[in-house]
Amino acid sequence: MLCVTGLLVVVLVLVAATVFGVWWRRRDGRVRNLDGGSEDDVDVLSPDDIGHEFGSRATLVQFSTAFCQPCRATRATLAHVASSTDGVVHVEIDAEANLDLVRRLSVLRTPTTLVLDDGGRVVVRASGAPALRDVRAALPD
Amino acid sequence: MRATPAVRREIDPRGPRFAAALTTVVLAAVLITQNAWLLAAQTAVFAVGALAGPAAAPYGRLFARAVRPRLAPPSQLEDAAPPRFAQAVGLVFSLTGLAGLLGGVVVLGYVAVGAALAAAFLNAAFGLCLGCETYLAYRRSFLSRSAHHTTEVAP
């Protein structure tokens, strides 16, 4: 016996999920520049917050969890940038073990990547796996 | 505070995508036929995937036996923990749907199975693991502020 309501639910779910999936794919990994706003709007971190000394040029802070598919690719991207660029370090933070920091920075999903300048100011932010060239372009001078 | 490397199981990322495609078809069939047996079977599949890991679950085995031999080797491997977590989320939704179907609460069945269908389809078509994406939001909302857990981040 076929159920017409069930068929309707299937069609509705597939259409809605497709729209959502296309939207998600467009914005996932996009790198946003936060610098340029007023000083009050910019988050500033200390080496204590991230448990690591800052890089002299930039610090790439990656929030990860154990159940995160794109964290692995993000780790490879950021580690590559850090190892191939002077003064840039990559710090990975277990979001679950640092929920206070996660809340303070309004991190909603993993991976979330923050680019800090030499003074710990959060100048760039990306949620989802960012592209290598976008991370390179986002490094402060 | 730095993530500690840990040894984890790795799988071909195309396996979970294949499993998600099969799951999409089965859950759509459940909604159209309202067949509780079919949903019970899918619930069992989710349970095995959540307990034993995606590679040991029926669709994972089918992938390894019938599909993977025909494909080129994967360009990269993937951690097994996220898809396993997704199977656990799927299990919760399909159990809820089963309770709705068997208990005569039709709306509950539609909502729960519809949500599981959306998640399976997003995984199959876009590679998006909805359960994984919501994991941190869940932990942020429902765990105490002072909670300190030692869950390790995969290497």
Average pLDDT on A96-121 reads 94
Which residue of A9, A51, A64 is in closest CB contact with B114?
A9
Touching check for B133 and chain A: CB below 8 Å? yes
Type of residue at A131: A
Does A34 have pLDDT greater than 90?
A: no
Q: Which CATH topology does A4-138 take?
A: Glutaredoxin (3.40.30)
Predicted confidence at residue A128, as pLDDT, reads 93
Touching check for A46 and chain B: CB below 8 Å? no
Q: Provide block-wise average pLDDT over 10 residues at a time, chain B (155 residues).
A: 54 94 98 96 97 94 94 88 92 97 94 97 94 84 54 47
Which residue of A5, A9, A95 is in closest CB contact with B136?
A95
CB-based contact A103:B140 (threshold 8 Å)? yes
Residue by residue, DSSP assigns chain B as -BPPP----EE-THHHHHHHHHHHHHHHHHHHH--HHHHHHHHHHHHHHHHH-TTTSHHHHHIIIIIGGGSPPPSS-EESHHHHHHHHHHHHHHHHHHHHHHHT-HHHHHHHHHHHHHHHHHHHHH---HHHHHHHHHHHHHS-TT----PPPP-
Name the closest residue on chain B to residue A76, using Cα atoms: B155
Torsion of CA B106, B110, B111, B116, to 10 degrees: 140
Element (H, E) at A61: strand A58-64
Average pLDDT on A115-130 reads 94
Segments making up each domain of chain A, as ranges: 4-138
Return the percentage of chain A with pLDDT > 70, whole number: 96
Interacting residues of A60 by C-beta distance below 8 A, sequence separation 6+: A78, A81, A82, A88, A89, A90, A91, A113, A114, A115, A116, A135
Does A39 have pLDDT greater than 80?
A: no
Which residue of B28, B125, B148 is in closest CB contact with A10?
B28
Touching check for B10 and chain A: CB below 8 Å? no
Q: CA-CA distance, B37 to A53, in Å (whole number)?
A: 57
Does A19 have pLDDT greater than 70?
A: yes
Residues A47-82 pLDDT 10s: 999 999 999 999 999 999 988 889 999 999 999 999
For residue A60, report the phi and psi dihedrals to the nearest 5 degrees.
-95, 110
Cα distance from B100 to chain A (closest Cα, Å)? 14
Query: How large is the angle between the packed helices B106-126 and A4-27, nearest 10 degrees?
Result: 40
Predicted confidence at residue A37, as pLDDT, reads 61
Q: CA-CA distance, B69 to A108, in Å (whole number)?
A: 39
Query: How large is the angle between the packed helices B14-33 and A4-27, nearest 10 degrees?
Result: 150
Interacting residues of A141 by C-beta distance below 8 A, sequence separation 6+: none
